[in-house]
Amino acid sequence: MITRLLVANRGEIARRVVRTCRALGVSPVAVFSDPDAGAPHVAESDLAVRLPGATPADTYLRSDLLVRAALDAGADAVHPGYGFLSENADFARAVLDAGLTWIGPPPEVIAAMGSKVEAKELMAGAGVPVLPELDPAEVTERDLPVLVKASAGGGGRGMRVVRSLADLPAEIAAAEAEAASAFGDGTVFCEPYVERGRHVEVQVLADQHGTVWAFDERDCSLQRRHQKVLEETPSPAVDEKLRAALRSAATAAATTIGYVGAGTVEFLLAPDGQFFFLETNTRLQVEHPVTECVTGLDLVRWQLAIAEGARLPATPPPARGHAIEVRLYAEVPAEGWRPSTGPLHRLTLPGQGADDSTSTVDSSVVEFQAGEADHGLRLDSGIVGSTVVGTHYDPMLAKVIAWGPTRTEAARRLAAALAGARVHGPATNRDLLVRVLRHPAFLAGDADTAFLTSHDLTAPLADRRAQELSALAAALADAAANAARARVQPGVPAGWRNLPSQPERKKYQAPEGELEIAYRVDRDGLTAEGFSDVALVEHGAERVVLDVAGVRVPLSVTAYGDEVFVDSALGPVALRRVPRFAEPGEAVAEGSLLAPMPGSVVAVEVVEGDQVHSGQSLVVLEAMKMRHAVRAPGDGVLRALRVAVGDQVDAGTVLAVVS
């Protein structure tokens, strides 16, 4: 019987495992790197062991440190979560060799599935359909387009679509470098690229006595940079006949390799209805909550029970309703999915309190899927307010999940929850997710892996007029806050005069450019330039109500220093106060190319004096486990190069000057 469990992971999945430990009476043990010393998963565990260092290579990827931590803490089992060493056969062996219980399949199974090349050969032998493997050195024009993939990869890393033979060598080299950095193995291979394919997968659960459960499929087709953004079950593209075939193939795959525990068999579904084996994930998946929501199961609870030798019933519970999960990332979709960093001040769904930013709205999985009113939303997150989003780890802030009796109801519920969420901090993909969930093509079930490249959904939810109204509300709230703090005549509006005077002026940087608000509040009410149809109903330091052409609009205003977040039915707007006078030394030389985020310089592809063209990659930064090319903003000559490979840079650092 497991009594104390070390969670060899961090963030959201660590908190998820801890939650089940609490329900079972198992004592959870956390591990943490130096940046994670104050993380929620540490505070919520009974014991915690420091892993000295900051990078994954020095901490969460050190199997020796993790095993030692488990032994020092008196744990009798290790749960690897997902990512990091969750699919590392050597780590599983080290855990077992130390006399600990491994929460996962046998090391031999992990090793067999760890190489995509070997895994495809095993599946082909079991009668599971597979795409042919192509030797990168032998790809011809007839084979195009092809997909370059990392043999030991996952999460979109080391993956490239190639449509021209001329591009193949460079893309292979880039894939090898990214794979070596992420997985310590730069081996890549090629396979035919299926246009407009869908990514579907089957959750399996297998005990030590030969029983295998294969659940209804999850559709994970909506992706960016080959990484999942939205997952749902069941898939709108799968009928009962295809569903049965997918479950049968997944069962055959699990049985062939002697699988034990929770895992996922992933398939590529072609437009003609054919499907092909992609890989087997020998761990819990990020998207496991959607399966929990439609079945009422706690998959982590079953992982622990199976490790203790429990038997599964003959058949799994039937699925009911529809569940959709989205991944809220700290990134800027309109800028090539550039990751964003900084303090996350608040993350709450409608109905949550300000201090309840990371617990599920309803933490009971069974009640969650069974309810149709208050239990249809779930928030799984590894962060709390004031957490600083850095560059060491994945940019996912949270998973937001909705259940509904139908797909339409689940999508509507999730879109409304996201649109009404308070997300105060780094830029996120929240607005894009809402637009996806409300898009006619998505609602019709027509979302393949190219959906985000074939539909431009990067515009903010708040249009230009909504941003202007939000800036006006921010200015009024700021004035109310200043008045409340005044030592003389507190409460009198700033700028108030007995006689008409010059308007108050405030500037804000908004998503679509700088806004200047000129307004005056006097005995006749609000007068604001450009807002002739707007009247002031109420204004305080955190709430402003405007009458816009006869429609009352309440706006919530929250300020953190110069950052101001305005939430309303018009759409959420993040603003930054622009000082009236610029600080000396803030200006940079014309043509300067600035680092869009903190990161490490991993490649410099030009030298001073080079003629460069618009869009050309000049410097490559690595942050949040992905590589990002910084490109020339226009044609010109590289006048200065300010960085070298290996440099660590902050956001805003001048990398080069082009003129």
Give tens-digit pLDDT for 58-93. Answer: 999 999 999 999 999 999 999 999 999 999 999 999
Conformational region of residue 47, where left means phi above 0, alpha means psi within -120 to 50, and beta covers everything else: beta
Is the pLDDT at 364 greater than 50? The verdict is: no
| Beta strands in 412-524, from DSSP E residues, in sequence order | 422-424, 504-510, 513-522
The span from the CA of 601 to the CA of 181, in Å, is 13
Residue 374: which pLDDT band, with cuts at 50, 70 and 90? very low
Predicted local confidence at residue 355, as pLDDT: 44
DSSP 90-102: HHHHHHHHTTPEE
| Domain CATH number, residue 548 | 3.30.700.30
CATH number assigned to the domain comprising residue 615: 2.40.50.100
pLDDT in tens, 297-332: 999 999 999 999 999 999 999 999 999 999 999 999
Instruction: Provide the residue range defining the domain that includes 58.
Output: 4-103
Name the CA radius of gyration of the chain, rounded. Answer: 27
Question: Which of 182, 219, 5, 3 is CA-nearest to residue 84?
Answer: 182
Do residues 503 and 399 share a domain? no
| Longest CA pairwise span in the chain (Å) | 88
Give the tens place of pLDDT for each residue, 114-146: 888 889 899 999 999 999 888 888 999 999 999
Co-location of 360 and 222 in the same domain: yes
In a domain, residue 599? The reply is yes
Q: Minimum mean pLDDT among 113-117, 170-174, 334-338, 488-492: which range?
A: 488-492
Q: For the chain, what percent of residues have pLDDT higher than 90?
A: 70
Same domain, 85 and 176: no
Note whether 468 and 450 are same-domain residues.
no
Pair 137, 238 in one domain: yes
Residue 15, domain CATH: 3.40.50.20
Judge contact between 260 and 207, C-beta under 8 A. yes
Q: Are 458 and 333 in contact (CB under 8 A)?
A: yes
Q: Report the DSSP pairing between strands 617-623 and 626-631.
A: antiparallel
State whether 278 and 409 are in the same domain. yes
pLDDT > 70 in the chain, percent:
92
Band of residue 157 on the pLDDT scale cut at 50, 70, 90: confident
What is the rounded average pLDDT of the residues 211-234? 96
Task: Give the list of residues 6+ apart from residue 484 with CB closer than 8 angstroms, or none.
Answer: 490, 491, 541
pLDDT band of residue 500 (cuts 50, 70, 90) is low
pLDDT for 8:
98
Please state, as a whole number, how many other Cβ atoms lie within 10 Å of the Cβ of residue 46.
15
Tokens at residue 272, please? 């003609």
- Tens digit of pLDDT for each residue in 250-296? 999 999 999 999 999 999 999 999 999 999 999 999 999 999 999 99
Are 398 and 490 in a shared domain? no
- pLDDT interval class at 148 (50, 70, 90): very high
> What are all long-range contacts of 636-639, with beta carbons under 8 Å and residues at least 24 apart?
636/591, 636/611, 636/612, 637/609, 637/610, 637/611, 637/612, 638/606, 638/607, 638/608, 638/609, 638/610, 638/611, 638/612, 639/591, 639/608
pLDDT over threshold 80, residue 432: yes
Sole residue written with tokens 């699988």: 259
> Is there a single domain that holds both residue 258 and residue 398?
yes
Kindly state whether residues 423 and 284 are assigned to the same domain: yes
CA distance 431 to 220: 19
204 domain residue, yes or no: yes
Is the residue at 553 inside a domain? yes
Taking alpha carbons only, the member of 557, 561, 562 closest to residue 572 is 557
DSSP 388-416: EE-SSS--EEEEEEEEESSHHHHHHHHHH
Question: What is the C-alpha to C-alpha distance for residues 463 and 572, in angstroms, rounded to an integer?
Answer: 10
Q: Is 249's pLDDT higher than 90?
A: yes
CA–CA separation, 402 and 369 (whole Å): 9
For residue 116, is it within any domain? no
pLDDT over 50 (residue 398): yes
How confident is the model at residue 229, as a pLDDT?
A: 97
CATH number where 177 lies: 3.30.470.20
List the single range of 391-405, 434-448, 538-552 with lowest mean pLDDT. 391-405
Quick check: is 587 in a domain? no
Of 66, 87, 103, the residue that ends a domain is 103
459 is a domain residue: no
More confident residue, 475 or 627: 475
Whether residue 9 contacts residue 27, with contact meaning beta carbons closer than 8 Å, is answered with no
Q: Is residue 167 scored above 60 in pLDDT?
A: yes
Quick: pLDDT tens for 565-620.
999 999 999 999 998 765 554 556 778 888 887 888 988 999 898 999 988 899 98
User: Smallest Cα–Cα separation from 104: which of 28, 228, 5?
Assistant: 5
Same domain, 191 and 298: yes
Judge whether 224 and 295 are in contact, CB under 8 Å: no
Torsion over CA: 561, 332, 335, 437 (sign): negative
Is 312 found in the same domain as 221? yes
Question: Which string of b and e fits 177-191 if b means at least 16 CB within 10 Å?
Answer: bbbbbbbebbbbbbb
pLDDT of residue 447: 94
When pLDDT is cut at 50, 70 and 90, the band that residue 365 belongs to is: very low
Residue 123 falls inside a structural domain:
no
The Cα 159–Cα 148 span in angstroms is: 5
508, 515 contact by CB (below 8 A): yes
List helix spans (H) across 215-355: 240-256, 288-295, 299-307
Last residue of a domain, one of 421, 454, 487: 454
Q: What is the mean pLDDT of residues 334-343?
A: 89
The rounded mean pLDDT for the chain is 90
Q: Do 261 and 308 belong to one domain?
A: yes
* Res 393: pLDDT: 84
**Which segments of 79-210 does DSSP mark as H helices, in order?**
89-97, 107-114, 116-125, 168-183
Q: What pLDDT is attached to residue 487?
A: 65
* Owner of token pair 């959906």: 451
CA–CA distance, 657 with 659 (Å, rounded to integer): 7
Q: Which of these three, 103, 121, 148, is where a domain ends?
A: 103
- Give the count of domains, the chain: 4
Q: List the one residue out of 358, 218, 379 whose CA is nearest residue 285.
A: 218
Q: Which DSSP state fits 355?
A: T
Pick the more confident residue, 97 or 593: 97
Q: Is 59 exposed, middle or buried (0-12, 13-18, 19+ CB in 10 A)?
A: buried
Q: How many CA atoms lie within 13 A of 144 on its CB side?
A: 9
User: What is the mean predicted confidence (pLDDT) over 456-484?
Assistant: 95
- Structural domain contains residue 586: no
